[in-house]
C-alpha cells in the first residue's frame, strides 16, 4: 500500500489522505486483534487459525483488487486483511516453538523465519512497486492472493503438535480492554500531525485503558482464572529484551519504509512507484543478520541502522509542480 498511494487515490477518485486512512485502519485492526488472535489458537488450534487467517487475508486481497471505491478498499484491505494478519501471525511463532523442541534447532528455525521476514520486507515494496508500475495497483492485490494460495498449499503437511481445546476459557473483557487501549494509543500517535491537543488526550486515555487491562489480568490471576495475557511473561528477562529489540527494530524499519515511500510519492513527486520502493529496500539487511550470529550479525545490525539514518537524511528532494 505504501508504494501505491498515488495510483489508488487517482483511480478511486479519492484523496491521498483517504488512502492513508485505509492504511491506518489496517494497523488499528491488526494492533487490536493480535493478542486475542494469539489466544484463540489454544481454543481452535494453531494450524486452523493459520489457515483461517490466510483465507480471510486472501479474500480481503481479492476484494481490494476489485474495489470500486474507497469504502470497499477499506473493507477488503483494512478490515479483512487486518483480521487475517492478526489470525495468521501468532500461529507461525507458536507452531515453530512447538515443532522445534531443542534449543539449537529452534534458534535456527527462528533465524530462518527472521531472514525470510527480511526478504519479505525488502522484496514486498520492490515487487509491489514493479507490479504497480507495469500492471497497475489492482494486480498487486491479486499477486497477494496468489501468494496466500501458495502458502495454503504448502502448509497442507504441517501438523499441529497439540490438539485444540474448545473448552479453553477466553478472556473477553481482557480482549476488549487490550483492543481499545491499543487503538487509542495508535490513534493518539497518528493524531500528532493533525491535532497536538487531541494527541495527549488519546495517549493518556489509551494508557489508562491498558492499565485497567493489566489490573484485570492481575485480578484474574489472583482468582485462579486464565487471563488473556499472563504477567509471568514479563518476569523473563530474555523475553523482555527480545520484545524491546523487536519493537525498536520494526519501528525503525517500517516507520522509515512508510515515511520515505510516502515522501517520495506525495511530497517530492519526482520518482515512480518502483523508485520509491527501491528506497525502502534497506530492510533486506535482516536477511543476512537473521542467518548469521555473533559479531557479524551485530555488525550487520549497526550497518542497517547507519543505512536507515543515511537514507532518511538523504531524502531532501525538491518539490515539483503537479
| pLDDT at 314 exceeding the cut of 50 | no
Q: What is the pLDDT of residue 51?
A: 94
Domain enclosing residue 17, as ranges: 5-170+228-235
Cell 492485490 found at: 141
How far is Cα 175 from Cα 102, in angstroms, rounded to an integer? Answer: 32
Residue 74, helix vs strand vs coil: helix
Would the pLDDT of 115 be above 50? yes
Residue 267, in any domain of the structure? no
How many structural domains are present in the chain? Answer: 1
For residue 142, give the 3-state DSSP assignment: helix
Over residues 285-296, the mean pLDDT reads 49
- Average pLDDT of every residue of the chain: 80
Which pLDDT band holds residue 280 (cuts at 50, 70, 90)?
Answer: very low
User: Rounded distance, CA 249 to CA 241, Å?
Assistant: 12
pLDDT in tens, 61-79: 999 999 999 999 999 999 9
Top-confidence residue, 208 or 290: 208
The span from the CA of 71 to the CA of 22, in Å, is 9
Measured distance between the N- and C-terminal CA atoms of the chain, rounded to whole angstroms: 22
pLDDT at 310 > cutoff 70: no
What is the predicted pLDDT for the residue at 106?
A: 87
Q: How far apart are CA 18 and CA 4, in angstroms?
A: 13
In a domain, 204, yes or no: no
- Mean pLDDT is lowest, of 47-56, 79-88, 176-185, 274-283, for 274-283
Is 146 contained in some domain? yes
Quick check: is 24 in a domain? Answer: yes
Q: Interior CA angle at 321 toward 317 and 322, to 5°?
A: 120
Q: Which residue has the higher pLDDT, 135 or 127?
A: 135
Q: How confident is the model at residue 258 (pLDDT cuts 50, 70, 90)?
A: low
Residue 195 counted as domain residue = no
Predicted local confidence at residue 112, as pLDDT: 84
Where does the pLDDT of residue 321 fall: very low under 50, low under 70, confident under 90, or very high at 90 and above? very low
Q: pLDDT > 70: what percent of the chain?
A: 78
Question: 0.85 exceeded by the pTM?
Answer: no
Are the C-beta atoms of residues 37 and 89 closer than 8 Å to each other?
A: yes
Confidence of residue 138 (pLDDT cuts 50, 70, 90): very high
Rounded to an integer, what distance in angstroms lies between the CA atom of residue 146 and that of residue 313?
A: 37
Instruction: Give domain status of residue 221, yes or no.
Output: no
CATH code: domain of residue 13: 1.20.1250.20
CA atoms within 13 Å, Cβ hemisphere of 281: 13
Does residue 105 lie in a domain region?
yes
pLDDT in tens, 1-44: 777 888 888 889 888 888 888 888 898 898 888 888 888 998 89
User: Does any domain span residue 313?
Assistant: no
pLDDT at res. 68: 92
Q: What residues contact 100, with CB distance under 8 A and at least 6 apart?
A: 106, 108, 109
- The arithmetic mean of pLDDT across residues 168-188, rounded, is 88
Amino acid at each position: 500500500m505504501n508504494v501505491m498511494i498515488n495510483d489508488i487515490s487517482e483511480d478511486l477518485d479519492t484523496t491521498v489522505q483517504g488512502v492513508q486512512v485505509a492504511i491506518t485502519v489496517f494497523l488499528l485492526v491488526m494492533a487490536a486483534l493480535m493478542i486475542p488472535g494469539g489466544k484463540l489458537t489454544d481454543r481452535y488450534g494453531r494450524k486452523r487459525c493459520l489457515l483461517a487467517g490466510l483465507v480471510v487475508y486472501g479474500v480481503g486481497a481479492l476484494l481490494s483488487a476489485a474495489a470500486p471505491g474507497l469504502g470497499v478498499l477499506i473493507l477488503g484491505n483494512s478490515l479483512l486483511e487486518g483480521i487475517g494478519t492478526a489470525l495468521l501471525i501468532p500461529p507461525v511463532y507458536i507452531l515453530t516453538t512447538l515443532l522445534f523442541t531443542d534449543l539449537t534447532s529452534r534458534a535456527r528455525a527462528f533465524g530462518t523465519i527472521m531472514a525470510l521476514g527480511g526478504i519479505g520486507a525488502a522484496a514486498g515494496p520492490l515487487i509491489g512497486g514493479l507490479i504497480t508500475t507495469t500492471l497497475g495497483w489492482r494486480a498487486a492485490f491479486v499477486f497477494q492472493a496468489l501468494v496466500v494460495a501458495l502458502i495454503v498449499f504448502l502448509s497442507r503437511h504441517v501438523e499441529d503438535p497439540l490438539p485444540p481445546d474448545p473448552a479453553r476459557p477466553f478472556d473477553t473483557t481482557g480482549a476488549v480492554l487490550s483492543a481499545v487501549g491499543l487503538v487509542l494509543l495508535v490513534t493518539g500517535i497518528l493524531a500528532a500531525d493533525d491535532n497536538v491537543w487531541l494527541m495527549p488526550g488519546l495517549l493518556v486515555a489509551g494508557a489508562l485503558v491498558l492499565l485497567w487491562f493489566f489490573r484485570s489480568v492481575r485480578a484474574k490471576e489472583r482468582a485462579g482464572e486464565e487471563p488473556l495475557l499472563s504477567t509471568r511473561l514479563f518476569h523473563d528477562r530474555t523475553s523482555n529484551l527480545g520484545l524491546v529489540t523487536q519493537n525498536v527494530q520494526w519501528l525503525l524499519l517500517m516507520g522509515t519504509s512508510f515515511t520515505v515511500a510516502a515522501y517520495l510519492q506525495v511530497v517530492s513527486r519526482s520518482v515512480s512507484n518502483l523508485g520509491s520502493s527501491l528506497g525502502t529496500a534497506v530492510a533486506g539487511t535482516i536477511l543476512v543478520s537473521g542467518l548469521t550470529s555473533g559479531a557479524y550479525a551485530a555488525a550487520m545490525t549497526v550497518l542497517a541502522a547507519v543505512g536507515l539514518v543515511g537514507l532518511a537524511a538523504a531524502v531532501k528532494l525538491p518539490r515539483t509542480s503537479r
